[in-house]
Amino acid sequence: MSEDDVTTSLTTLDALESEGIHIIREAVGTARKPVLLFSGGKDSVVVLHLATKAFWPGRVPFELLHVDTGHNFDEVLEFRDRTVERLGLRLQVAKVQDYIDDGRLRERPDGTRNPLQTVPLLDAIVNHGYDVVFGGARRDEEKARAKERVVSLRDEFGQWDPRNQRPELWNLYNPKHLPGQHVRVFPLSNWTELDVWRYIQREQIDLPDLYFAHERDVFTRDGMWLTPHPSVRVRDTDCPAPRSVRYRTVGDASCTGAVESTASTLDEIIAEVAATRITERGATRADDRLSEAAMEDRKKEGYF
Amino acid sequence: MTAPDTTDAAAAIPDARRTSLLRFATAGSVDDGKSTLVGRLLHDTKSILADAYEAMERVSKERGGEEVDLALLTDGLRAEREQGITIDVAYRYFSTPKRTFILADCPGHVQYTRNTVTGASTADALVVLIDARYGVVEQTKRHLAVAALLRVPHVIVAVNKIDLLDYAQGPFRSITQHVQTHAESLGLTNVVTVPVSALKGDNVALRSDLTPWYDGPTVLEVLETVPSIDQGADDFAAAHRRGIAHPTAEQARATESGWRMPVQWVLRPQDAAISPEYREYRGYAGQVAEGTIRVGDDVVVQPSGRRTTVAGIDTADGPLDHAHTGLSVSIRLADDVDVARGDLLSSAADAVAPERAFHAHVAWLTDRPLRVRDRVLIQHGSARVQAMVTAIDGILDISLPGGTLDSSIATGHELLLNDIGVVRFQLAQPLAVEDYGRHRRTGAFCVIDPQDGNTIGAGTARASAPGTGTDAHVTI
């Protein structure tokens, strides 16, 4: 906590951290088998960090689940495995590729696999018997997510019903559900992108290098800088050339774009995020641009 | 895409490591311009990013509108955009150099009053919109009643569309009088009225030249200066000393009473991989609900009533000698007493008396009526207990003029959707329920349907059952 006027009260970051820890402890306190969706991206890294604080000096009392589209950046997967190893946790991986290989899912014409994640995610929830599923989603990311409760009930099909959500009163969370249903829990609901970066800086949290400016071959498509990656179909008209870029989100390489940037330290990233005039998802996520209600429609199907 | 210019913007942004957080909610009837007010607040604080603004511009044009419809920003669901109404609470985040804000944008439609209760339950302040042409209407009374029921510390009434009355002072003055009279009868003491045009931007974030007769604060100025619940009692006093705001009577009482912390989880890391110094560790994890815990304080564990002292206050970042309201910590106790999730730790100096029966105001949030002898679950702090409704003493009649929540109660035997009533419960296990008027966190509870698990009611407990002689009369 800092000096001057705020010595006796919580600063914004302290309040958000305490709230996140409270949410995690409440959900775990009522869960039979909780799990954290962990991709190695900054938001799930911060949730995991909060969980280590919530259960200190003990170990985080749940396992991690990653839905791997098969299009992930190698360096993020390495970071993911390193983090799991360091904390002595167990990681389950559900692979979209397995579903494509045995015919349960078909590749889309546009090549993006992000919408395909829903089926392996819901299967993993059922097969492992997870009843509380933590995620790093924030309400400031997208207008459908702005409507999301901290604790959100999902039915037998994993569906979100935005018109029939439970009232969420005071700091009393209600994860009660019937067999077959589960709840999604979002401890970072009230955080903004800038809060996440400020917190990463304050806590000195390790992140994949992709988040920091680096030189790489990229080409532009739909206003985004894409990396030539086995999952990205490079057309003849695309001319990859080296540029200084960084990633604001590190999802599926086929639909996650980089932004041009020279911000290579946390201070520089915070200054850049504070000054940007483009939203995080608007800048770098093609899957959210599919339609006006793309996120809402996918969430109704069970996507995060 | 080019890199944004970061030269001077970084200096102007608020520092979340230093600024405090204020949670507020908005409420208003349909067509009062609530979404426009929210859009205006975000626009004038430069919180709308370019791509989101361009999307609004594009949709506004597609619909044939001339001006950019700021309401599009908040209506995020397909059905909301199609019907042009707000269905569910949306949460928005913005900041000024003075403070960061969490805004719960609540629908105004009467059918969604339960969402106003949802948004207002965590609010440090509630912004109620009134259309200046119509003044106080039934929905206004309902929203003020919710603010009174939930004891939202600060209410800001934005008298909107003042531009349509040519910025005249007369109507604003008479609306202010009407609001103040009604608010006082509900026991609301901190109500500020502001003449506003959300469409034109008058007195929302920026002072208007068109209301020279108004010398009060803008809506944003009030939000930037009122104390927040997350700020501990000491901070109210500090704010008072700095002349920023006057603590309410509730806050003043909070400074006198003890601390409370529901136990969420028992930390007992008996794991071979854990550092040897922590193998015998036993801590009780929770978030301080109220007051300041200090090492050495005498403690009562409820509902068992066992007594001991605070041996240590721990966090992952190291031990503390005290912990204020809102902080998540782990408490070590001097004696090896039995403490479990659902218990409440409180200061012995101002202990909580667990009860097997209590009565409360309940806002009913579901279509199925609540009747006497119904079995429900009550979620209070981290405790969840079975309960039975033993009586419904009355139901608030919003339409009655000038009464308190108590005096305007009409008789009734069941609570219907959106009703606020006085309900008596009997509990299967004792709970340390307190008077909500004094203890917002330990006086609040949810009613849960034991069959489907849905949250069906919001409750604010009162001192004790009527007729026991210990009931401190609470005028809500």
Region B78-106: mean pLDDT is: 77
Any chain B CB within 8 A of the CB of A212? no
Interface test with A, best of B292, B328, B418, B440 (most A CBs within 10 A): B328
State whether the Cα torsion B75-A190-B203-B133 is positive or negative.
positive
Closest approach of chain B CAs to the CA of A111, in angstroms?
A: 23
* SS3 state at B295: coil
Position A202 pLDDT exceeds 50: yes
Which amino acid, B416?
Answer: L
pTM: predicted TM-score of the whole model, two decimal places: 0.89
If pLDDT is split at 50, 70 and 90, which confidence band does B391 have? very high
Question: A258 has which bridge partners?
Answer: A225, A247
Q: Do A140 and B93 touch (CB under 8 A)?
A: yes
Between A115 and A213, name the one with better pLDDT.
A213
Chain A residues 252-281 with CB within 8 Å of chain B: 259-262, 268, 270-272, 274-279
Nearest by CB: B285 against A25, A144, A172: A25
Residue of chain B whose Cα is closest to the Cα of A60: B269
A157 phi, psi to nearest 5 deg: -100, 10
If pLDDT is split at 50, 70 and 90, which confidence band does A239 have? confident
Position B132 pLDDT exceeds 90: yes
Nearest by CB: B265 against A5, A29, A144: A29
Q: Do B76 and A146 touch (CB under 8 A)?
A: yes
Q: Which of A67-76, A127-136, B255-264, B348-357 is modeled with the greatest confidence? A: A127-136
Position B255 pLDDT exceeds 80: no
Q: Do A11 and B19 touch (CB under 8 A)?
A: yes
pLDDT score recorded for residue B370: 96
Please state which of the ranges B100-104, B191-195, B227-231, B460-464 shows the lowest mean pLDDT.
B227-231
Residue of chain B whose Cα is closest to the Cα of A282: B51
Between B463 and A247, name the one with better pLDDT.
A247
Closest-CA residue to A226 (of A209, A215, A240, A212) = A240
Q: Do B20 and A198 touch (CB under 8 A)?
A: no
Region B63-90: mean pLDDT is: 66
Residue numbers in A near B441 (CB within 8 A): 170-171
Region A194-207: mean pLDDT is: 95
Position A8 pLDDT exceeds 90: no
Residue numbers in B near A142 (CB within 8 A): 76
Alpha carbons within 13 angstroms on the beta-carbon side of residue B399 total 1
Which pair of structure tokens corresponds to residue B137? 């209407």
Residue of chain B whose Cα is closest to the Cα of A270: B10
If pLDDT is split at 50, 70 and 90, which confidence band does A156 have? confident
Q: Do B379 and A11 touch (CB under 8 A)?
A: no
B50 phi, psi to nearest 5 deg: -55, -45
**A–B CB contacts, 8 A cutoff, strictly below:** 264
Nearest by CB: A9 against B10, B20, B458: B20
The residue assigned the tokens 């349509």 is B164
Which pair of structure tokens corresponds to residue B332? 């070590």
Please state which of the ranges A159-173, B124-138, B148-162, B437-451 shows the lowest mean pLDDT.
A159-173
Closest approach of chain A CAs to the CA of B169, in angstroms?
A: 37
Q: Which of A151-165, A240-254, B144-158 is modeled with the greatest confidence? A: B144-158
Mean pLDDT of chain A, nearest integer: 87
Question: A260 has which bridge partners?
Answer: A245
Closest approach of chain B CAs to the CA of A105, in angstroms?
A: 27
Could you tell me if A66 and A38 are in contact, meaning their C-beta atoms sit under 8 angstroms apart? yes
If pLDDT is split at 50, 70 and 90, which confidence band does B128 have? very high
pLDDT score recorded for residue B352: 81
Structure letter (DSSP) for residue B228: P
If pLDDT is split at 50, 70 and 90, which confidence band does B275 have? confident
* SS3 state at B232: coil
pLDDT score recorded for residue B447: 98
Please state which of the ranges B79-83, B247-251, B300-304, B361-365 shows the lowest mean pLDDT.
B247-251
Structure letter (DSSP) for residue B48: S
Nearest by CB: B326 against A10, A55, A270: A10
Nearest by CB: A8 against B234, B444, B458: B234
Position A146 pLDDT exceeds 60: yes
Region B429-457: mean pLDDT is: 93
